[in-house]
Homo-oligomer: A and B are copies of this chain.
Amino acid sequence: MFSVAQIAEYLQGQIIGDAELEIVRLSPLVSADTGCVSFCAHTKSQQDLRCCNASVVLVQEIDKHLVKHTAIVVADPYLAFAKISQWFDWRAAIRPGMAENAVIAESATVSEQAQVCSFAVIGENVDIGAGCYIGANTVIGDDCSISANSRIEANVTLYANVHLGERCIVHSSAVLGADGFGFAKSASGWQKIYQLGGVRIGNDVEIGASTTVDRGALCDTVIGDGVKLDNQVQIAHNVRLGKHTAIAGCTAIAGSTHIGDNCTIAGLSGVTGHLQIAADTHITAMSLVSHSIKKAGIYSSGTAIEPHPSWKRNVVRFRSLDQMAKRLKNLENEMQQLAQKVKKDDGY
């Protein structure tokens, strides 16, 4: 339970109304009632704001007159909401100590301020910092390091030689450091290229459920500070992701591609291998990037959704688009010649 005053102080906001109110929950405008803190982030939510029964609402200066009860005025209500959300999180504070049925190699160094849950397996020479949480049934391979205050959820796998920075979160079923997909063709089939590099992950990185980050072939796969990966993202060997780049669900980045800082890649997209993507590049959903991007901006591929019958007709035409373009060019030429001929016939 928090007071309006505590929230305002943390957010460096200005209270208009009752600083003493007790707040127990964070709610959207439409369902908030007494005891709730809510927020108004968009002009289009102003109608909901007018009707909102929250005890306190985080608002911009221009919206403060619409608040029924108490307001906290902040510069960016959405960011303020994000910041305060942690106060209402369901996760218990970690309980330092190692579950007696966890298996921890003798050569591993696990901070006394870390929590290791049941059936976790921690390999040789692993180093786990203070404030870390290692979930149940998670396996940490040899020679890994996990810096302070990182949280590895249940059923995660880290292969050997994976290094995470501070305050990282890795969600369940994620796999860090599996072999990259590297094979050389031989007369008898594919010859495996053993993947000798590791994975280096910066600070404040979040990795979603079932996301996979492969180890490098010879050098490391590298993920910069503040990167956010959604669920089911695939990061291939030798990829480098710049700082604060965010990648949404089910996107795949192929081998040896380097992506700059502050990029966003929407879901179900792909970037093929050995490319360079400039900082501040943004890719829309289900787009395939198949050449390097040198200039920041928004990029897309694909076609738009439409009713199946018309789509089917259009798709058939796509297969003769090059022919259509040539026929169009021919027509333009014929038109020009014919127009000239008619003009000439007219005696110009």
B328 touches A89 (CB 8 A): no
**Bound-complex Cα distance A85 to B117 (A):** 36
Asked if A175 and B178 sit within 8 Å, CB to CB, the answer is no
Is A314 positioned at the interface, with any CB of B under 8 Å from its CB? yes
Interface pick from A16-24, A61-69, A76-84, A107-115: A76-84
Q: Cβ of A50 < 8 Å from any Cβ of B?
A: no
Q: Does B316 contact A318, Cβ atoms closer than 8 Å?
A: no
A40 at the interface (CB under 8 A from B): no
Q: Does A9 contact B (CB under 8 A)?
A: no
User: At the interface, yes or no: A43 with Cβ under 8 Å from chain B?
Assistant: no
**Nearest-Cβ distance from residue A213 to partner chain B, whole angstroms:** 9
- In Å, the complex CA distance between A246 and B184 comes to 12
CB contacts (< 8 Å) of A99 on chain B: these are 103
Given A299-B308, A335-B331, A342-B342, do A270 and B285 touch, yes or no (CB 8 Å)? yes
Check B267 against A268 for contact (C-beta < 8 Å): no
Instruction: Give the oligomeric copy count.
Output: 3
A190–B228 touching, CB < 8 Å: yes
Binary interface encoding of chain A residues 296-309 relative to chain B, with 1 for a CB under 8 A from any of its CBs, else 0: 01111111111111
Given the complex, which residues of B lie within 8 Å of A88, measured CB to CB?
194, 196
The residues of B that contact A103 with a CB separation of less than 8 Å are: 99, 101, 118-119, 136
* Interface residue? A26 (CB, 8 A): yes
At the interface, yes or no: A244 with Cβ under 8 Å from chain B?
yes
CA distance A310 to B178 in the complex (A): 37
In the complex, what residue of chain B is closest to A214 when comparing beta carbons? B231
Of the residues B231, B325, B339, contact of A178 by C-beta under 8 Å: B231
Establish whether residues A249 and B267, one from each chain, have CB atoms under 8 Å apart when the complex forms.
Answer: no
Q: A270 CA to B91 CA in the complex, in Å?
A: 31
Which residues of A in the span 210-232 have a Cβ within 8 Å of any Cβ on B? 210, 212, 214, 218-219, 225-226, 228, 230-232
28 inter-chain pairs at a CB distance below 8 angstroms, sorted by A residue, are A26-B196, A26-B218, A31-B219, A82-B192, A83-B184, A85-B196, A89-B196, A118-B121, A121-B137, A121-B154, A155-B175, A172-B178, A175-B231, A181-B228, A210-B210, A214-B231, A230-B234, A234-B250, A250-B252, A266-B272, A290-B304, A298-B308, A300-B308, A301-B303, A313-B321, A313-B322, A314-B318, A314-B320
